[in-house]
Chains A and B, each alone.
Chain A
Amino acid sequence: EVQLLESGGGLVKPGGSLRLYCAASGFNFNNYIMSWVRQAPGKGLEWVSSINSGSAYIYYADSVKGRFTISRDNAKNLLYLQMNSLRAEDTAVYYCARDVYCGGDCHSPIASDYWGQGTLVTVSS
Chain B
Amino acid sequence: QSVLTQPPSVSGTPGQRVTISCSGSSSNIGGNTVNWYQHLPGTAPKLLIYTNYQRPSGVPDRFSGSKSGTSASLAITGLQSEDEADYYCATWDDSLNGHVVFGGGTKLTVL
Contact = CB atoms under 8 A, between A and B. Distances in A.
Interface of A: 35, 37, 44-47, 50, 59-62, 95, 97, 100, 108-113, 115-118
B111 interface: no
A22 to B, nearest CB: 12
B15 to A, nearest CB: 28
Given A110-B33, A111-B47, A111-B51, A46 B96 contact: no
Shortest beta-carbon contacts, A-B, top 8: A111-B50, A47-B100, A44-B105, A115-B44, A111-B35, A113-B47, A45-B102, A44-B104
Contacts, number: 66
Contact of B2 (A44, A61, A113): A44
B99 A60 contact: yes
Contact of B50 (A44, A95, A113): A113
Contacts of A47: 90, 99-102
A59 B47 contact: no
A61 B105 CA distance: 18
Given A108-B92, A108-B98, A110-B92, 11 more contacts: A35-B100, A44-B86, A44-B103, A45-B37, A47-B101, A59-B100, A111-B33, A112-B35, A112-B45, A115-B45, A115-B46
B2 to A, nearest CB: 7
B97 interface: yes
B56 interface: yes
Among A45, A109, A110, A116, find the residue whose CB has the most chain B CB atoms closer than 10 A: A45
Nearest to B33: A110
Contacts of A45: 37, 39, 45, 88, 90, 102, 105
Contact of A46 (B46, B86, B92, B102): B102
B11 to A, nearest CB: 18
